[in-house]
Amino acid sequence: MQGSDIKTIGIVGAGRVGTALARRAVAAGYDVRIATSKPPAEIALLLEIMVPGAHPATVEAVAAAADIVILALPLSKYRDLEPKMFAGKIVIDVMNYWAPTDGVIPEFEGSKSSSEIVQDYLPKARLVRSFNHIGYHEIEEEARPSGHPGRRSLALAGNDADARRLVAGFIDRIGFDPVEAGDLVRSRSFATGTPVFGAILGHDEMRQRLQDLAESTG
């Protein structure tokens, strides 16, 4: 599959991050479908206002139609997702564990990143973690065309190299320099509380920081 074959972006979650990513994706020319836990008719008006051009759908229809599915729902709700809907799908996990909003969830208190736990739950998904370390408002404020000096970078990590490559193409097309961190275990380097989380870094600085973190953690 080539980057140009990625035409439909599905987003689960129409909150702060979901709608910001959806607007960038619509602007970049993708066909965008969005689902929440509510029936599509209930979010149609919200999308008309917040993301003109995006189409409301059920989670099942979004997962079925999308070339890339973005998970932008609260992490505490991840078990509402039906694993078989995501089998074989390229999935971007933008979710973070943040106890003050999610409440204390013991399974996320260990050393694994939340994305490793979500990947365990969706074992057949080709999961890539990214966009979790940027604020939702910055997704639009800081998007820049490819080659723009000072363009912000975004880290990504996942176990499927082809999925990483295609997600990197999506990140680039919506306005950021993708920097591959490696397998999903490396997503620990840009989880909440790390020096990458919230930091505005260019491509080379991001690469260096991820490398330093990988060397210090082994």
Site for ligand NAP, rule CB under 6 A? 12-18, 36-38, 59, 72-75, 77, 80, 94-96, 98, 132, 135-136
d(CA 21, CA 136): 8
Nearer to ligand NAP, 14 or 163 (CB): 14
CA distances (Å), 172 to each of 3, 133, 146, 191, in order? Answer: 10, 16, 7, 21
Cα 117–chain centre separation: 15
Question: Closest distance between ligand NAP and the C-beta of residue 209, in Å?
Answer: 18
Place of tokens 């003050």: 100
Shortest separation between residue 192's beta carbon and ligand NAP, angstroms:
8
Q: What angle do CA 157, 160, 163 make, to 5 degrees?
A: 80
Report the nearest approach of ligand NAP to the CB of residue 185 (Å).
20
d(CA 217, CA 214): 5
Q: Which is nearer to ligand NAP, 161 or 197 (CB)?
A: 197
**Cα(168)–Cα(208) distance, rounded to whole angstroms?**
18
Quote the CA–CA distance of 154 and 175 in Å, as a whole number: 10
Residue nearest to ligand NAP (CB): 15
CB of 151 to ligand NAP, least distance (A): 19
Residue 9 Cβ vs ligand NAP, minimum distance, rounded to whole Å: 16
What single-letter amino acid sits at 61? Answer: A
Residue number with CB closer to ligand NAP (1 or 99) = 99
The residue (of 95 and 210) whose beta carbon lies closer to ligand NAP is: 95
Nearer of residues 30 and 97 to ligand NAP, judged by Cβ = 97
Q: Number of helices (H) and strands (E) in the chain: give both, helices first.
A: 8, 8
